[in-house]
Amino acid sequence: MAKDRLAEVLERYEAVIGLEIHTELTSLKSKMFCGCPVEFGGEPNTRVCPVCLGLPGALPVPNEAAVEATVLAGLAVNCDIALWSQFHRKQYFYPDMPKDYQISQYDLPFCSGGYLDVEVDGADEYTTHIGVTRIHLEEDTGKMVHVGGAEGRIAGAEKSFVDFNRAGTPLMELVSEPDIRTPEEARRFAQKLRLIMLALGVSDCSMEEGSMRVDGNISIRLHGETELGTKSEVKNMNSFKALHDALAYEIVRQADLVDAGGRVVQETRHWDAGAKRTSTLRSKEEAHDYRYFPEPDMVPFAFTEEWVESIAERLPELPDAMCERFMTTWELPKHGATVLTSDLAMAVFFETTVAEAGEARAKSVANVMLNDFSAHLNADGVAVDESLVKPSMVAELVGLVDDGAISSKQAKEVFSAMAETGEMPAVIVEARGMKQVSDIVAIEAVVDAVIAASPNEVASYRGGKVGLIGWFVGQVMREMRGQGNPQVVNEVLRKKLG
């Protein structure tokens, strides 16, 4: 659906978007309430036990590391941490939910009242403040495979297979305020949250494998209107692009509906990335009755300020702070700093390289990484740590250029060789005989020869055609097969031509 169509709609209507983001705590060893390992996939029902299968008599015992990770995440997005909290049971029947209730949190979540400031660049760059209503901890469900239906969808399936390997995986749910106004803001919010979770090391945040799942609540209203319109909830947005496109589609769909005199119905819709459209998953006309009540198999959580402090001390440097630091410490431009800190591996690579190359060369290191290195990663489709290029190589390469051992033009050639072979730059330079001649004596000899061989040009240069200097440089360089140091050649020529 065309971008300008969305722009046109957003001129007439204001979109009101809130996100619900579920993140599996994949970095934990064991599940939320039992000792089964947290892993992805595997043979069905091979990572289950009486607890996560909901067998009669089994009891849940909360994983303390999951509680700590959730509090850590809450602190990272500026939430208040509740000193008194507890789990509740959220009750509804579903075949992939072993106990037919989900142990979740209700009115006493661990974290609430946070926010994220999200930068949206482009034509008019701006920052928007998006509230985080709450972050609570719960257990993930199992998985179902529907057979006989259309591409694994529930609709029309003859029967389904249920696998509980994922059941009980620690799941953190973040609910945003409806402060988001465009699909782009939503994407930026989700991307920034992902960076933070990765920095905290609590999850691998893979939207493909479903360890990060984003659902959106969307409604539209006329600008200036304060009442909220009827919202629809969109699920199955398995990438940041899908998130953007699905929200954009839904906003336009609602606008068209209203323009045509229709009304938006409250429902859950399914994003079909292939067909690039959303379709009704189920109607939520009759609201659920989850019958929440305090989980009687567990006791409440009483945190002390000191304990929360001790968790806060574990907070690593978050992306925003790191970007700031890169700009001030290394005097990098905002864009460069943002790119370098948008991927933790990239940032670590940069700082390791600078440590080796010396702080004075930070800028040169940044240039190589933002240009040659990034280009190589994209072209070869490899991740930072998969690349044959290592910090020590980039450090050495930058050194060779700064020392004038090779020209920056040659550096590009050396880099691509590095990326292919994984050899150290010095080795490559040596092997290709690329060493640049800066030795005055050697250069003077060539310059003398050129001058002697070109009396007419010398005459006209001395006669005032100083533009000829370029021609002389060219002659000298040709004699030296390009290996003369341009600056030195220039100086010697000017001196001798006087």
Interacting residues with another protein between 131 and 190 (CB under 8 A): 138, 140-141, 144-146, 148, 154-155, 157-164, 171
> What value does the CA radius of gyration of the chain take, rounded to a whole number of Å?
31
Give Cβ neighbours of residue 177 (< 8 Å, ≥ 6 apart): 18, 130, 131, 132, 133
Q: For Mg ion, which stretch binds (CB under 5 A), given 50-58, 165-173, 276-284, 400-408?
A: 165-173
* Least distance in angstroms from the C-beta of 208 to Zn ion: 25
Give Cβ neighbours of residue 17 (< 8 Å, ≥ 6 apart): 178, 180, 181, 182, 183, 185, 186, 216, 217, 218, 247
- Comparing C-alpha atoms, which of 315, 312, 306, 299 is closest to residue 83? 306
Which of the listed partners (Zn ion, Mg ion, another protein, none) does 70 bind, with a CB threshold of 5 to 8 Å by partner kind?
none
- The strand pairing partners of 237, in sequence order, are 214
Q: For Mg ion, which stretch binds (CB under 5 A), given 173-181, 206-214, 315-323, 338-346?
A: 173-181
Helix (H, G, I), strand (E, B) or coil at 90: strand
Find the binder of Mg ion among 68, 173, 179, 396 (CB under 5 A): 173
Contact 291, 95 (CB under 8 A): no
Q: For another protein, which stretch binds (CB under 8 A), given 24-32, 258-266, 467-475, 485-493?
A: 24-32
Distance in angstroms between the alpha carbons of the first and the last residue of the chain: 68
Which of the listed partners (Mg ion, another protein, Zn ion, none) does 201 bind, with a CB threshold of 5 to 8 Å by partner kind?
none
Q: Which is nearer to another protein, 55 or 315 (CB)?
A: 55
Find the binder of another protein among 17, 23, 60, 332 (CB under 8 A): 60
Q: What are the two backbone dihedrals, phi and then psi, of residue 61, each rounded to the nearest 5 degrees?
A: -125, 120
* Site for Zn ion, rule CB under 5 A: 34, 36, 49, 51-52
Burial of 360 (0-12, 13-18, 19+ CB in 10 A): exposed
Q: Which is nearer to Zn ion, 34 or 332 (CB)?
A: 34
Residues written for the chain: 498
x/- letters, 302..331, toward another protein (CB under 8 A):
x-----------------------------
- Comparing C-alpha atoms, which of 85, 87, 89 is closest to residue 291? 89
Q: For another protein, which stretch binds (CB under 8 A), given 38-46, 336-344, 358-366, 451-459?
A: 38-46
x/- letters, 117..156, toward Mg ion (CB under 5 A):
----------------------------------------
Binding site for Mg ion (CB under 5 A): 173
